[in-house]
Structure formats: C-alpha cells, structure tokens
Chain A
Amino acid sequence: MQLDEFFVTGEPLIYAGMVSIVLVSAAILFILTYFKKWGWLWREWLTTVDHKKIGIMYILSALAMLFRGGADALMMRTQLAFPNMNFLNAQHYDEIFTTHGTVMIIFMAMPFLIGLMNVIVPLQIGARDVAFPYLNALSFWSFLFGAMLFNISFVIGGSPDAGWTSYTPLAGAAMSPGPGQNFYLMGLQLSGIGTLATGVNFMVTILKMRAPGMKMFQMPIFTWSTLITSFIIVFAFPILTVALALMTLDRVFGAQFFTLTGEGMPMMWANLFWMWGHPEVYIVILPAFGIFSEVISTFARKQLFGYKAMVWAIILIAGLSFLVWVHHFFTMGAGAFVNSVFSISTMLIAVPTGVKIFNWLGTLYKSRINNTVAMMWSLAFIPSFVLGGITGVMLGMASADYQFHNSYFLVAHFHYVLIAGTVFACFSGLVFWYPKMFGHKLNETLGKWSFWFFVIGFHVCFFPQYFAGLDGMPRRVFTIIPEWMPLNIISTVGAFGMGIGFAIFIFTVVYSYRYSEREKTGDSWGDGRTLEWATPTPVPFYNFATVPHVNSQDVYMSLKEEGKTTFEEDELEPIHMPSNTGQPFIMMAFLFIASFGVVFEWMWMAIAGLAAGIVMMIIRSFDYDEGFHVEVDEIKRTERSTRGL
C-alpha cells in the first residue's frame, strides 16, 4: 500500500484537519511534558477505577465528539445554503452526513448519558462505586478507543459514506470497497463492548448495591431510568454485535450474508440493524427522561408527580421499544399486514410517553419554579419534544410514511426528539450536577445566553425542515433545487445559532472555572432531594463515610428533617475500595491495534493485537488484587476538611 492510499489526499478541508490534529496533539504533548504531568495523567486518570472520574472522562469525550459532530453539521448546512459554491462535493458530503450521524448517536449521546449515569447513579443509591469498577474502566477505554478508531478515518483511509445506518448492499464490499466502511464496523464493534459491559455493570449495581432499606420503588427516577436503560442495552446490543460481525465477515472474508449475489439478503441488515437501532433510540432518551424528572422536581420544589406511573411508563416504553423496528423500513414492501402491525405498536408508544409529559406538567402545576439554567433546559424540552413526538406519530402511519420516508420531514422529526430530548437533557443534567463533579457552579448569566442561542437556533434550524420535507426535499442530498432555497437558508442560520450557543457554553465552562465561587456545602442548589446531594463537595473518593438507612423516596429530604448526614462519626468503619489499575487501558489499546488491522485487512496486525488482548485477559484472570481499606482516621480527616467541621 502506498502512502497516498493510506492517507486521504486531495481535499483542502481534510488537509486543514490533518494540520490541526498534528498541532493539537503536539500542543498536548508539549504541555504534558513541560508541566511534568505525565505521571499525574497516568495515576489520576488513565488508571482510575473511580466511577466519578470515569464519568467525567466520558462527559469530556462526549463534548469533544459533540464538537466534531457539530462541525460536520455546520459544513453540511453551509453546503446546502450555498449549493453552487462547491464547498463540499457529493462524495465528501456523503462522508460527512455518515460521520455526523454515527458520531452523534454512538459517540456523543450515549457516552454523555453514560457519563452522567456513572457520576450520579452510585451517589443516588448510596453505593461507594459501581459493582465492577475494573469493568467500568474497561468500558470507558473501549468506548474511547472505538471513537478514536472511527474518528481517524477521515484522515487515514477515508471515512465511511453509506449513512449511519450503513445499509447493504451499498455498504457491502462490492459497492463500497476500501477501508472506509470497515472503520464503521470496527469502531462500533470496539465501543459496543464497552456499552454492553456498562449495561451489565449498572444493572448489577442498581439491583445489588442500594443503601440498606432502599426499596425498588424508593429509587430516584434517574436511577430507575438507568436500570431500565441497562436492560435495553443488555438485550439490544448483542443484536448489533452479531450484525456487525456478519457484515465484517462479508466485507473482509468474502461471506454472503447481506450481498446481492450468493443468496445473501441485503434487507436482513436493515432488519437486524433496526432491531438494535430502535431500542438504541430509547437507550438515549430514557436516561434523558430521568434527568428531566430530577431537574423538574428539584426546581419546582415538589415531589415528582405520579412517581409510580412514571416508572411503569418507562418500563412499558422499554418493552414496546423491541416491537416497533419495522417502522424504519415500511417502504421495504413487506405488505399491508406486517406494516399495520408495526404501525399500531409504534403509535402505542405515544401512550406511556404522553403519561410522562402529563406527569411533568403535574409536577410543575402550582409549584414555585426556581428558574435556573438547568430548569430552563428542562422546561424548553417539554414543548419542543412534543412537536417531535407528534410528528413521530404521523410518521408511524404506514400509509402516510410512504410520503414522508427519507424526506427532510423525517430529518426534522428525529432531530426534534434527539436534540430536544437527549441534547437538552445532557445540558440540563450537566449544569445541574456540575457542582457535584467540579466543586463550583457554571455561571448562570452566560448559561442563559448559551441556552437562548441554542434553543432558538434549534427551532429556527429544524422547524423549516418539516416544510422542506413536505415540499419533497429528500434527505442525504448535497445539492438542492431553487424552491427549497429559502427554507434551507433559514435552517442554516439556525444551525449557526446553535453553534454559537455551544461556543458560549464552552466559554462558560472556562469562565466558571476561573471565577465561580467554590461550593461550601454538598447541597449546591439548596433544594436537593436525593442522596447525591447529601455527600459533601468535592465528593470523597469513597462517596459515603456512613451509608444512611433509607425508608422514604426523597432520602435527602428526610435526612435533612431528621438532622442526619452521611458522616455519623460513631458509626464509622474501615471502607473497602478497589485499587487503580492500568490493565483496562492497555487491553483496549491492544484491541484498538487489532481493530485497526481488520480495517485495513492486515491480518498479521489483527492477529497480533488480538493475541496481546487475550494475554491481557489471562493476566486479569490471575489478578487477585483485593483492593484496600480506608482507615477510620483518614475518613475523619477527609470528612472534616470537606465539610468544614
């Protein structure tokens, strides 16, 4: 292979990308070396098994991916506003919408939510870490290496260009030769290991490690949504794993599962993909619902209205999520009966979702709302998401779907549910729990600026797209006809509004790091209801000096009434904690090398990487590290300094 086949050549934008990657990497290496931070990076972050630090790393990576996916989006919007400028050609445009979709779903939305789960769920249930801390670190590194593998594709080898759904036969070896599509397969496969492990981890953590006395129906609603999400992950991700493996066999080893020749069934890929893909969209929306519930009940200063109905609604949505996948390909032509069945099951989902909407409204009813930035994101969610949901029911009508299918109407719909649902929740949750993670709040004034830019930009960007779709504009086109011009220009203006909102958000983070007042108490907002607010800020690495006995739903409210804390000096005992380890990082680095080998079909590299990965697993099998104990004296010292006693 020649060097000019290895690197992508001929695109000025990609050359600029290469230059910036080299410059940023050099700058990071220089800073780490100059300030002698390598040891710190290894000890504090790369080897950590602390759920709070892993959560922070997830969130930072997700923000970086949001930047990358957002840059893709802005490039697409620029192309569509000025189609005659030849900013992007057809091939480059195809690559960009593919990476935009994949990055946003797999490497932004999920990791962002998993990051918040990591930080908050153990705190909410009174646990000192997740059930399997080593596995948790493994999950993170598998996600990060998978994301890196996918992201280097645009400078090395070429990006995938068959859409984030990667439909065969287009994505097969015959029509998409070269490494591009392999990056998609191996990037998702590698990060999928981590997602599945996270599902197992949180399922066990929530079922087995709750504070004494905490019944299932006393768990905070975010913990409930995490539990249900974990179930969906465990049931849905194996389908993706198998589908990706089959397509890898097709592409790399010449099998015929999804090919046009050799009795393959290309539509079987779509079938399997959406059997995972539909539960996947609930994986990214259910935790978001949980976050909104927490934020709304905290800042409405009321107990969540209809807690049990909320929980059952989540369970029902999770169950239905496995029964609706065909609505993504009604136009395949499976016949009226098949389409009718899935049309009805699709519309059924609107029922429990509607229950949740009314419960949020019921919580807000006659409450005294504390209008913080976190609350504003949650309030903006309700009407925006309803717009996305209603158009979803429209798309669910199989006969009407023949008109909407693959048009901008669909594009507008799923951006309305994913941005107003998931992205708003990520911002809301991050702002809400930020003081727990970093010991200071984000600046509220700047936060409101970024909120208004983002939310108004969002509606300006995506609302016109419904009408562009009804005017017949198909998705995934790099050039448009004059009739669609005005709507597209409005849309592009909105997209840049969102970009400004995101930029202000990043500035807020930097500004608040320098100027925000440091937190003195654990209950940053003064209205905390659940157990995470009972811990001091910064949270000690063992979370709880003493774990309270739980006998009510809003634990911290009753602790406050009883005058109790999570530091009862006479009940202190040594705390058993897991040791840090570099093994997960190293193991996943080897699997990264193996995956890279598969992408370029260099089998020597794939086998060597896999063998090294297996050696790491054997080493792990004989690793009898039992962790360590934190002594009572040290706990007392830590608690007294953090609580200012």
Chain B
Amino acid sequence: MAGHNKRIPTQHVVGFVLSIALTLLATWAALGSNLSTMWIISGIMILAVIQAGIQLFMFMHVVEFESQNGHVPWNMMFHGAVLAAIIVAGSLFTMSFGFTHNHDGDHQHEQHENDGQEQHDNGEHEGH
C-alpha cells in the first residue's frame, strides 16, 4: 500500500537501470576485457562502492528524514556494517589463520594441530 499518487517511480527506475548497468560492466571487466588483474580487481571494487551507494540512496531510505519525521537509519547501517565486518574478517580469520595457503610447493602447516581434515591448502585467496 505504498504511494498514494499514481506517478512513475523515476528514482527507483533510474536506480534499477544503473545497478544493472554496473553489474554488466563488472561482468565485462572480469570476462571480456584485456585489463590486468590489478586493474580488474580495483575496478570492480570501485563499481561495488558505487553500487552500494545507489542501493542506499535510491532504494534504502537513507534520505528519508527529508520527507518524514524519521531519521537517518544509522542504527541499522551500523549493524549492517558490523555484520559485514564479521563475515569478511571472520572468514579470513577462520579460513586462513593457522594455514599457509601456499601453492608454490611445500604444503606445510604452521601448526601441528592441523592434523588433516578434508581441508588442506586448496586455495590461495578468500574472496572469489
């Protein structure tokens, strides 16, 4: 039961088109471009930041305090940031601490306790 007036939601349409365009751009950068890996990674990072900004401003009510008596949802954004930090930092912590992800030869562990579950050094990076 959202908007009471039948208008075209310009902001949402623009945001939708922009986010799809950015996604396609990132896909092209990864699959179709001849850029060096460094440029691809940093390019995709920048695109991701822009994408997050579009989501926050076009869809997620960051500017809602202008229209209503509400406030900027700092609280929720803080929780979201904490959770993202837990996922990223936590994954790095658990998945790499005590392992050597070294592909160039010796598959030695740093610590003796790692007495061989199914997980050995089969990946040198966390994100994909």
Contact = CB atoms under 8 A, between A and B. Distances in A.
A220 B88 CA distance: 36
Interface string B1-13: 1001010010000
Contacts of A239: 87
A344 interface: no
A275 interface: yes
A335 B109 CA distance: 10
A338 B122 contact: no
B77 to A, nearest CB: 13
Interface in B1-50: 1, 4, 6, 9
Given A333-B115, A335-B114, A267 B87 contact: no
B98 interface: yes
B117 interface: yes
Interface stretch (A258-266, A295-303, A524-532): A258-266
A390 interface: no
A326 B119 contact: no
Contact of B113 (A260, A268, A325, A333): A333
Interface in A334-366: 334-338, 341-342
B97 A338 contact: yes
Contact of B86 (A231, A263, A323, A338): A323
Given A275-B90, A337-B98, A264 B122 contact: yes
Contacts of A322: 83, 86
Given A266-B122, A267-B119, A336 B111 contact: yes
Nearest to A257: B128
B105 interface: no
Most buried by B among A334, A337, A342: A334
Contacts of A558: none
Contacts of A325: 90
A334 B122 contact: no
B94 interface: yes
A235 interface: yes
A644 interface: no
A265 B92 CA distance: 12
Contacts of A264: 122-123
A370 interface: no
A246 B127 CA distance: 12
A326 B117 contact: no
B87 A275 contact: yes
A169 interface: yes
Interface in A248-301: 257, 260, 263-268, 271-272, 275
Interface string B104-128: 0000011101111111001111101
A578 interface: yes
A281 to B, nearest CB: 17
A626 interface: yes
B122 A271 contact: no
Contacts of A268: 91, 95, 123, 126
A12 interface: no
Contacts of B86: 275, 322-323
Contacts of A257: 128
Interface in A307-340: 322-323, 325-326, 331-338
A624 interface: yes
A333 B117 contact: yes
A326 B94 contact: yes
A332 B110 CA distance: 15
Contact of A265 (B1, B9, B90, B122): B122
B115 A271 contact: no
Contact of B94 (A235, A263, A334, A626): A334
Contacts of A10: none
Contacts of B110: 335
B121 to A, nearest CB: 10
A210 B100 CA distance: 53
A627 interface: yes
B98 A266 contact: no
A268 B96 CA distance: 11
Contact of B91 (A271, A331, A333, A626): A271
A271 B117 contact: no
Contacts of B122: 260, 263-266
A332 B126 CA distance: 16
A332 B97 CA distance: 12
Nearest to B124: A263
B37 to A, nearest CB: 14
B90 A333 contact: no
B57 interface: no
Given A260-B122, A265-B123, A627 B114 contact: no
A263 B90 CA distance: 20
Contacts of B4: 626
B120 to A, nearest CB: 9
A169 B110 CA distance: 24
Contact of B6 (A231, A265, A323, A624): A624
Interface centre among B91, B93, B95, B126 (most CB of A within 10 A): B95
Nearest to A326: B94
Nearest to A274: B94
A319 to B, nearest CB: 9
A271 B114 contact: no
A266 B115 CA distance: 17
Contact of A333 (B80, B93, B119, B126): B119
Contact of B117 (A323, A332, A342, A626): A332
A332 B118 CA distance: 7
7 residue pairs, one from A and one from B, having the closest CB atoms = A335-B98, A333-B114, A265-B123, A267-B119, A335-B111, A338-B97, A235-B83
13 contacts: A257-B128, A263-B123, A266-B118, A267-B118, A275-B87, A322-B83, A322-B86, A331-B117, A332-B117, A333-B119, A335-B99, A338-B97, A621-B9
Interface of B: 1, 4, 6, 9, 79-80, 83, 86-87, 90-91, 93-95, 97-99, 109-111, 113-119, 122-126, 128
